[in-house]
Amino acid sequence: MDWESGISHYAVELWHEHRIPIILSTFTVLVLLRIYLHLTQPKPELLALPKLYNATEQKVKEEPSAERWRLDEKQAVKVEEKQQQRPDISKQSSDKTSDDEKKRITNGPRRIKGGIKRKTSQGNSDDEAGNGPRKIQVLIFYSSITANTDKIAKDYAQTLDASLRGTSADGEQQDCSFLASQVLDLAEADYDEYFITPPKSLEGESGSVDYFYLFLIPSYNIDTINDSFLEHLRETHHDFRIDTSPLSPLLGYSVFGFGDREGWPTEEEGFCFQAKEVDRWMAKLTGRKRAYPLGMGDWKRDGKTRLGEWHQGLTEVLELIEQTGSLGEGVAGSGDPLESDDEGVEEDDGEVMIDVDVEVSKPSKLEDVEDLGKIIETSSPAPAPIAVDFTTYGKSATKRKTATTVTVKEMVPKSSPTYAALTKQGYSIVGSHSGVKICRWTKSALRGRGSCYKFSFYGINSHQCMETTPSLSCSNKCVFCWRHGTNPVGTSWRWVVDPPQLIFDGVKEGHYKKIKMMRGVPGVRAERFAEAMRIRHCALSLVGEPIFYPHINEFLGMLHSERISSFLVCNAQHPDQLAALQHITQLYVSIDASNRESLRRIDRPLHRDFWERFQRCLDILRERRFRQRTVFRLTLVKGFNIEDEVTGYADLVEKGLPCFVEIKGVTYCGTSTSSSAGLTMANVPFYQEVCDFVTALEKELQKRGLKYGIAAEHAHSCCILIASERFRVDGKWHTLIDYDKFFQLLEAKGPDGDFTPEEYMGPETPEWATWGKGGFDPRDQRVDRKGRPVEEVS
Ligand SMILES: Cc1cc2nc3c(=O)[nH]c(=O)nc-3n(C[C@H](O)[C@H](O)[C@H](O)COP(=O)(O)O)c2cc1C
Ligand code: SF4
């Protein structure tokens, strides 16, 4: 064996004997080397995006708000450019960066690009369409045969431009995103150019353009250009070769109709019928981009005013689009694509509904305040304590001082399941214990489909009514209260108290926000929408017990200072708070049963002395009857509180002598049974049964010499009103309220002032609302749950 073969033999032997330790140690050395390099090598900046964000945020703050959406877009473009420049960036830092790392930068996951990335009218993104500033082109389409609308459209374009563009102090038009509006006669416009897809976006000096369509449409019951136009819209929607919403790249649209009330007094008789059609087809073709509700007017009568209101609302929306690039919250999802108008069923302000199926992430069992306390303890830090014993509200200040050591928590903390449950049901929670929600009647009135019974009985405009409560907590667990299990309960106030101003501002903001979200809903009337932006009534009856709130009088004072009337419902369990209550427009007490046992079964009160409290409340109401409009609200639940209770209720009326007694059948609005309370559809009385009960009660009252009579009805919501003869003048019922008079009296005499309900008694109850006439507002159109018109009840 020569020396060479000896060495190789030795190496092979060595390898066979020690290969495992050799492999392991080599692997370990490599791993350690890799870790060392990873820790010690300088890293490249991942991406410059965070810096860019900050820089741009700063810039946005400095720019006027009208410029904001354009800035955001530039920002998006800049970031895109930065990304495209990444290879250069990595090159600059190549001395510090390995090849692998360079790859990671250039091929790494795409980062979020800042700013709103808007689509152009062609459906392209910003970057594809060019980098120039975005412009908005408003196109005003009109038709006209007797030339009125021709002139109106041209004048309107100038008005709109002046509003949108504004003028500087020296009379110069200000720079903005809006191009001068263009007016197009539908008799001359090429439909294929505008109504199959939006026009091609112009590029070049002015940058790219997004379009917004307006329509000024008179109606004609003869064959005109309107018919060809509507036919074109219909065909485009149904053409199988075209997307069903080919106009969805538009920023939005809105329609205003002209008609003549002399020949066509109501919508059922054809007032503005073609504007309604255009609105409907445009909703389909744009994928529900109704930016503002349909407006309607008669040029010889209210046309100018209506057009003015529509214009005002519309310009606000256009300004919003300029700033944000979108129609805003609620609009896209709030309309119904099929325009079926199936609204779903929601509660009205009475806590008289059973059986709603609400999918909520409920707490395992939120039965009472103790449970709430446990949840709060585990879910949120306790806020700073407020040293007041609220159970003694209205008593001496010295007694309050003694409670300074009590630690209080929030009633409905943001992190609690109660908060989640209530917000899921559509409540806006304000502060830590108040809520606001728009009721189904407010929505219905916005669409001209009827108002709640309080419009028929007392003249409340439902679309101007805010439903709220300053206390989501209650001291009963009524069997028919569908919120049972989601709202906190307790016998005394043990929570943080929010200041009344915070609640007042918060509920108004929440209400207006929800109204604004109705803007794109099919059928919402521009005129009512504009009116709804001024709250005129407040129903304090949402959920919980409003007089539980320690500063209820201050809160009421704020409502009244803005001339918002107050309708407060209490549960007859807080006599001290009731006694301390100052003037309100109408004071309700829920009377859910006529005797102790029945009340225990129905209201399931938390107070042991519930019957005594109830009786004291009736005494207070009796005393107050010449200072407040007092109302008993009876909710009839079949199998619980109707049968054989007429005399018991008559006893209560005799004791409290209220100005009015409202009798309402419990409403069923769900699909499953309310198992915990054992209520089903069988517990809902038929309207005829409610009528029979009311007739029997009236008879019983008259038998006792009590001067009451059946004054009004609202069959639609199964509600009937018995009134004291004090509100009958010359044989006519006067159940309506003179709201202006109420505020005048309040302002002149103060919240504790001496004035009687008769002093602000309104005009005669309208004929259509009186007993036997059904009570449906003749201005509105009754519809069934599918939105189909319903014949009037005879
Ligand atoms: C022939 C004719 C038919 C009309 N039909 C209706 C109608 O069905 N419903 C309606 O609300 N107004 C109807 N009107 C009223 C017009 O819509 C209204 O006067 C409108 O302002 C006319 O606008 P113009 O002058 O631009 O044509 C009709 C008017 C005319 C002349
Ligand atoms: S009073 Fe107001 S909150 Fe109550 S049902 Fe009528 S509109 Fe709704």
Q: Collect all residues with Cβ–Cβ distance below 8 Å to 723 and sequence separation of at least 6.
A: 659, 660, 661, 708, 709, 711, 712, 733, 735
Compute the average pLDDT of residues 234-260. 90
At residue 696, the pLDDT reads 95
Paired sense of beta strands 428-430 and 434-437, if any: antiparallel
pLDDT by residue (tens digit) across 128-154? 444 456 789 999 999 999 999 999 999
Distance of alpha carbon 98 from alpha carbon 174, whole angstroms:
53
> Which residues, other chains included, contact 739 with Cβ-Cβ below 8 Å and sequence gap of 6+?
459, 536, 563, 565, 585, 760, 762
Most confident of the following: 198-202, 295-299, 715-719: 295-299
> Which range has the top average pLDDT, 351-355, 372-376, 561-565?
561-565
Phi, psi dihedral angles at 50 (to 5 degrees) = -55, -40
Q: Is the CB of 339 under 6 A from ligand 1?
A: no
**Is 131 or 257 the better-scoring residue by pLDDT?**
257
pTM reported for the whole predicted model: 0.66
405 CB neighbour count, 10 Å cutoff: 7
pLDDT at residue 787, as a whole number: 55
Which ligand 2 atom lies nearest to the CA of residue 348? 5
Mean pLDDT taken over the chain = 76
319-323, 600-604, 764-768, range with the lowest pLDDT:
600-604
The CA distance from 732 to 763, in Å, is 10
* pLDDT at 25 (0 to 100): 84
Confidence tier at 351 by pLDDT (50, 70, 90): very low
710, β-bridge pairs: 722
Quick one: average pLDDT of 655-682?
Answer: 74
pLDDT tens-digit profile of 539-589? 998 777 899 899 999 999 999 999 999 999 998 888 999 999 999 999 999
Q: How much is the CA Rg of the chain, to the nearest whole Å?
A: 34
Contact 482, 355 (CB under 8 A): yes
Give the percent of the chain with pLDDT over 70: 70
Distance CA 296, CA 276 (A): 9
Q: Which ligand is nearest to the CA of 539?
A: 2
What are 64-103's pLDDT values in tens digits? Answer: 333 332 323 333 333 334 334 333 333 333 344 344 444 4
pLDDT score, position 639: 81
Banded model confidence at residue 14, pLDDT cuts 50, 70, 90? confident
The average pLDDT across 587-612 equals: 85
Burial class (CB in 10 A: 0-12, 13-18, 19+), 673: middle
Give CA angle at 469 (489, 353), nearest 5°: 70
Angle between helices 417-424 and 369-379 in degrees, nearest 10: 110
Residue-level pLDDT at 600: 84
Flag the least confident range among 348-362, 419-433, 626-640, 656-670: 348-362
328 or 57, greater pLDDT: 328
> Which of 293, 297, 295 has the alpha carbon at shortest distance from 264?
297
pLDDT higher at 235 or 362: 235
pLDDT classification of 418: cutoffs 50, 70, 90 = confident
Q: Is 148 in the pocket of ligand 1 (CB under 6 A)?
A: yes
Question: How far is it, in rounded angstroms, from Cα 465 to Cα 540?
Answer: 10
- The Å distance, Cα 439 to ligand 2 centre, comes to 6
Which ligand ends up closest to the CA of 537? Answer: 2
Please indicate whether residue 41 or residue 210 has the higher confidence score (pLDDT): 210
pLDDT of residue 386: 28
- Distances 275 to 13, 214, 229, 278, 702 between C-alpha atoms, Å: 98, 11, 11, 5, 54
Tell me the CA–centroid distance for residue 672 and ligand 2, in Å. 25
Would you place residue 678 in the very low, low, confident or very high pLDDT band (cuts 50, 70, 90)?
low
- Residue 767 is predicted with a pLDDT of 92
489 with 616: CB under 8 angstroms? Answer: no
Q: For residue 268, which ligand has an atom nearest its CA?
A: 1
- In order of their start, the domains of the chain are 42-109 (no CATH), 126-334 (3.40.50.360), 353-361+451-497+524-769 (3.20.20.70)
* C-alpha distances out from residue 654 to 370, 693, 724, Å: 39, 17, 12
Rounded-to-10 torsion of CA 243, 244, 248, 252:
160
Q: Please state the ipTM of this predicted complex.
A: 0.92
From 460, 465, 543, 714, the mutation candidate for ligand 2 (largest count of ligand atoms within 8 A of CB) is: 465
Please give the backbone phi and psi of residue 106, each rounded to the nearest 5 degrees, phi first: -75, -35
Closest-lying ligand 1 atom to the alpha carbon of residue 303:
21
pLDDT at site 650: 96
End-to-end CA distance of the chain: give it in Å, rounded: 125
Least confident of 76-85, 261-270, 534-543: 76-85
Closest by CA to 587, choosing from 530, 686, 658, 673, is: 658
pLDDT at 626 over 80: yes
Q: Which residues pair with residue 125 across a beta bridge?
A: 119
Ligand with smallest separation from the Cα of 218:
1
CA of 186 to the centre of ligand 1 (A): 16
Residue type, 732: K
Most informative mutation of 467, 469, 717 for ligand 2 (most atoms within 8 A of CB): 467
Q: Does residue 168 register a pLDDT over 70?
A: no
**Which of these, 351, 423, 323, 419, lies nearest to 379 by C-alpha position?**
419
Residue 253 belongs to what H/E stretch? Answer: strand 252-259
Q: Which residues line ligand 2 (CB under 6 A)?
A: 348-349, 439, 441-442, 452, 454, 460, 462, 465, 467, 539
DSSP string, 459-498: ---GGGEEEEES---BS---TT-TTTTTS-B-SS--B---
pLDDT of 504 strictly over 90: yes
- Return the higher-pLDDT residue of 241 and 576: 576
DSSP states of 162-202 as a string? HHHH-B-TTSPBPP-SBPPPEEEETTTS-HHHHTTSPPPPP
Within its chain, how far is the Cα of 645 from the centroid? 39
Q: Residue 113 pairs with which residues in a beta bridge?
A: none
Q: What is the pLDDT of residues 632-659, one digit of tens each?
A: 999 898 887 887 789 999 999 999 999 9
pLDDT at 133: 61
pLDDT > 90? residue 597: no
Pairing state between β 252-259 and 295-298? parallel
How many angstroms does the Cα of residue 350 sit away from the middle of ligand 2?
Answer: 8
CA dist 25 and 299 (Å) reads: 95
**775-789 per-position pLDDT tens digit:** 777 776 666 555 556
Residue with tokens 């981009």: 289
Distance CA 774, CA 716 (A): 8
Ligand 2 centroid–CA 613 distance in Å is 27
- For the cut 50, the answer to whether the pLDDT of residue 50 exceeds it is no
Closest atom of ligand 2 to 460 CA is 1
Q: Which helix (H) or strand (E) is 505 found in, with range?
A: helix 500-516
pLDDT at 182: 95
The b/e string for 55-76 (b: 16+ C-beta within 10 A; e otherwise) is ebeeebeeeeeebbbbbbbbbb
